Structure 1
Amino acid sequence: MRRFGLASVALAAFLAPFGAWAQGAPAGDAGGKIDTLEKLQGMQSTGTAAAAEIPQTGKRADAIRKTLAKIKLPPGFKIDLYAIVPDARQIAVGPNAGVLFVGTRKTKVYTVTDRDKDRVADEVRPFAPGVTFKDPNAVCFSRDGVLFIGELNRVLSFPAAEFFYENPDVALNVVVKQGELIPASEESFNHSARVCKFGPDGKLYIALGQPHNVPPKDKLDLYAKTGIGGIIRMSPLGKEREVYATGVRNSVGLDFSREDKALWFTDNQVDGMGDDIPPGELNRVSKPGENFGFPWYGGGKIRTVEYKDETPPKDVVFPQVELPPHAADLGMTFYNAKMFPETYRGGIFTAEHGSWNRTQPLGARVMFTPVKDGKAGEPKPFAVGWLTDDGEYLGRPVDVAVLQDGSLLVSDDTTGAIYRISYEAP
């Protein structure tokens, strides 16, 4: 307890210049702990005990390593178990100490620490255990190192989270209050996993998947106004909210090109149209306000049955690349590091979660798409082997992120793990 008291004093001193970050209107916790957020906003103790660590050794770790021995990669690459993280999905790499913050579709966000820098996690434990999260899939850092967590219908920020995460009480700010990210009437278990990323303009970008396979026509105006089925952006304080892109069914992967600052995103397309249509999408936003075609198009240039007699909006932007149908491309990242060979630099890695309603399962792999001068080349499999010839999933990749040493992290919510792919010249 003495350690936490000292940490609280240090945190208060550190946060003093932040002002608005450490303050905000009181807001109740979605899980019913009404005073938890109020206390944390005021940097007061909630009396929450430190969360228990997640074991990193034993049968589970051994079984995962056995599976990883079957994964095929290009020459010179190898894959290892980095951490066991239950329900692991979106990954945010701390810009200073390299601590990972890992979102889930459950009620927890996890921290992953590699203290001795041997590229294997030493400690994994829940973050901010006093806060009850709801579907906290979205985790991302601002340029000045503030952690943002996007839930089903709320956004929180945590100043200095990377330095004070060991304390169960962490300072926070309510960026978007519970029930104000989307209309409460549109909350759903379907397509509820948000993703977030900070742009070169310093604004927070959030993808809002819409809850239907294909939405009814009477929902279109509401969705266009609120950004459901699109991408919104706002200031780090939750102000100046605007709809940045529309015509998006369910994007679970965003990143910005270092080359031209453009936003790229994956999009998962309509189910139930057959095994081989429609394709998935990798898209590029060239300016605010662009429409990417959904629900008039189910993926690529394939029209949906529900909107086949409707006139699509003018100037629909079609994907840079059509991805394999129903492979469920989720997380994506540009590779701007130096560990991998030159051919990978500036390109995009994407995580395919794998199909769920296809006669012959497809996906469960990491793909690579080269990018040059703002144009995408042909996507190719990079890491494969989580889907057996018999159609059994040994794992389902969700997100990809670049560690500070240039290696590639891959999350897997089926095995509950994070893998690390590294390279040494053969």
Structure 2
Amino acid sequence: MRTILMAALAAGVSLAAPALAQQDASTAGDTKAKIDNLEKLQGFRPTGVAEPPMVPQTGRRADAVARTLQKIKLPDGFKIELYAVVPDARGLAVGPNAGVVFVGTRKSRVYTVTDRDKDRVADEVKVFAPGLDFKIPNGVCFSRDGVLTVVEQNRVLAFPAAEFFYEGPDVAAAVVVKQGELIPAAEESYNHTARMCRIGPDGKLYVSLGQPYNVPPKEKADLYARTGIGGIVRMDADGKNREVFATGIRNSVGMDFAPDRTLWFTDNQVDGMGDDQPPGELNQATKPGMNFGFPWYGGGAVRTVEYKDDKVPADAVPPKAELPPHAADLGMIVYKGKSFPAKYQGGVFTAEHGSWNRTTPVGARVMFVPIGKDGAAAKPEPFAEGWLTEGGEYLGRPVDLATLPDGSMLVSDDTAGAIYRISYEK
């Protein structure tokens, strides 16, 4: 108990138990019961919640995914295999201590994936903190000292020592941002609500906040600039000292820090402007306060119809690389592993979820963007493809990427409900 508390305090997370008396969950509604469960976990008290059964790792679904993976094309020396069957798998976070993988979803659950025998195939997949009522817990990220952050649609929770408490249904928990305070409650939407997070080299929490419109109305501009909607916000690990880090972003669902401490991120651009425009974006934030041009630009240098007569801010920053239009590049990593060939080290991988409103579908790939020593991005190139058939059927839709300690790369897929592992052998 003392070890957990000290770890939490070191991370700047408060675990103080609430002063209000709690109702018996057996007499309360399900929602109230799960609110009480969060309060119990904050005070290191058991919830009494039974642990759900593990997700089966064999059977028809696993066999179908394995057949699909036989169709995936990769550069010479690489191979792709099924790592885990995980329903609705999206955001990925690899624990820094034991290598347990935590998986966010756009639904109501977070999963844990454990490879106990280290054969690079998951042995166990189960629900994390089953007593909690998550709402779109897409964003998951770890601090270097092992605190897991889960960013929901409009709340942020932290779980100190998550890698060591996930075995049971009860885990140490803390509220970083209260429900309804990440964005104004009136701005909650079913659109662009999948948050992404990273812990920066400064120890702060960075969260992307997609805005709910295709192109926002002008009367929303001041509110969005002030709250960070359509941008990236950062704050201390305990939620204090929140500030808007970057603006001019439509909907980023992937970001990562490079070794030079700069933040790279993808941005999904405006729909309804035609099959071949505007391009998606790969951006680089080198300092706080940068403006990346949306909504004046719909993507790249393409002006939006709604803002075509408005003056573009003088400080608007163009993308480092233009990505295929409407391919929906979501998750990304700056590859810091050592097992891939030199060409890929320090480069950027992105996960293309695939188009939804294009007459001829594109995407459903993992792309690679080479980054030179001068920081310049070269032309994106396909790295892993084959989830989109010639007939336009999606066999899978990649969402996020992560690197295991051995340098291999994980790819989540929310359509197939799976995580793949891509490795390289000389």
Question: Shorter-chain-normalised TM-score: which range?
Answer: over 0.9
Q: Match of 2:310?
A: 310
Aligned residue runs from structure 1 range 5-404, under 5 A: 11-16=1-6, 18-19=8-9, 21=13, 23-24=15-16, 26=18, 31-32=31-32, 33-258=34-259, 260-372=260-372, 373-404=374-405
Distance, in Å, in 2 between the alignment partners of 1:170 and 1:290 is: 38
Question: Normalising to structure 2: TM-score of the pair?
Answer: 0.95
The residue matched to 1:219 in structure 2 has which SS?
Answer: helix
AA of the residue aligned to 1:18 = A
Shift of residue 333, structure 1, vs aligned partner: 0.3
Shift of residue 315, structure 1, vs aligned partner: 1.4
* Contact map agreement 1:30 1:134 (CA 8 A) in 2: no
Structure 1 residues 274-302: Cα deviation after superposition (integer angstroms, max 9, x where no partner) = 00000000000121111101111000010
Distance, in Å, in 2 between the alignment partners of 1:12 and 1:412 is: 38
Distance, in Å, in 2 between the alignment partners of 1:146 and 1:220 is: 34
Distance, in Å, in 2 between the alignment partners of 1:13 and 1:154 is: 26
* Contact map agreement 1:134 1:152 (CA 8 A) in 2: yes
Against the structure 1 CA distance between its residues 365 and 268, is the aligned structure 2 distance closer, same or farther, given a 3 Å change threshold?
same
* Contact map agreement 2:85 2:419 (CA 8 A) in 1: yes
Structure 1 residues 176-232: Cα deviation after superposition (integer angstroms, max 9, x where no partner) = 000000000000010000000011111000000000000001101000000000000
* Contact map agreement 1:255 1:263 (CA 8 A) in 2: yes
Distance, in Å, in 1 between the alignment partners of 2:119 and 2:380 is: 32
Shift of residue 322, structure 1, vs aligned partner: 0.5
Distance, in Å, in 2 between the alignment partners of 1:397 and 1:31 is: 32
The residue matched to 1:221 in structure 2 has which SS?
Answer: helix
Distance, in Å, in 1 between the alignment partners of 2:14 and 2:48 is: 19
Shift of residue 148, structure 1, vs aligned partner: 0.2
Against the structure 1 CA distance between its residues 341 and 230, is the aligned structure 2 distance closer, same or farther, given a 3 Å change threshold?
same
Q: CA RMSD in A?
A: 1.5
Q: Match of 1:416?
A: 417
Distance, in Å, in 1 between the alignment partners of 2:191 and 2:119 is: 39
Shift of residue 413, structure 1, vs aligned partner: 0.2
* Contact map agreement 1:346 1:371 (CA 8 A) in 2: yes
Q: Match of 2:26?
A: none
Distance, in Å, in 1 between the alignment partners of 2:111 and 2:308 is: 44
The residue matched to 2:221 in structure 1 has which SS?
Answer: helix
AA of the residue aligned to 1:361 = P
Distance, in Å, in 2 between the alignment partners of 1:25 and 1:367 is: 46
Shift of residue 18, structure 1, vs aligned partner: 3.2
Against the structure 1 CA distance between its residues 280 and 24, is the aligned structure 2 distance closer, same or farther, given a 3 Å change threshold?
farther
* Contact map agreement 2:5 2:15 (CA 8 A) in 1: no
% same residue: 71
Shift of residue 17, structure 1, vs aligned partner: 5.3
The residue matched to 2:274 in structure 1 has which SS?
Answer: coil
Shift of residue 21, structure 1, vs aligned partner: 2.9
The residue matched to 1:21 in structure 2 has which SS?
Answer: coil
Distance, in Å, in 1 between the alignment partners of 2:383 and 2:30 is: 40
Structure 1 residues 66-122: Cα deviation after superposition (integer angstroms, max 9, x where no partner) = 000000000010000000000000100001100000000000000000000000000
Aligned pairs, number: 414
The residue matched to 2:13 in structure 1 has which SS?
Answer: helix
* Contact map agreement 2:4 2:160 (CA 8 A) in 1: no
Distance, in Å, in 2 between the alignment partners of 1:412 and 1:12 is: 38
The residue matched to 2:232 in structure 1 has which SS?
Answer: strand
Unaligned runs of 5+ in 2: 23-28
The residue matched to 1:220 in structure 2 has which SS?
Answer: helix
Distance, in Å, in 2 between the alignment partners of 1:371 and 1:90 is: 24
Unaligned runs of 5+ in 1: 1-10
* Contact map agreement 2:13 2:176 (CA 8 A) in 1: no
Shift of residue 151, structure 1, vs aligned partner: 0.1
Shift of residue 15, structure 1, vs aligned partner: 2.3
Question: Normalising to structure 1: TM-score of the pair?
Answer: 0.95
Structure 1 residues 351-375: Cα deviation after superposition (integer angstroms, max 9, x where no partner) = 0000000011000000001112222
AA of the residue aligned to 1:362 = V
Shift of residue 65, structure 1, vs aligned partner: 0.2
The residue matched to 1:281 in structure 2 has which SS?
Answer: strand
Structure 1 residues 377-417: Cα deviation after superposition (integer angstroms, max 9, x where no partner) = 11100000000000000000000111111101000000000
Distance, in Å, in 1 between the alignment partners of 2:54 and 2:8 is: 31
* Contact map agreement 1:278 1:299 (CA 8 A) in 2: yes
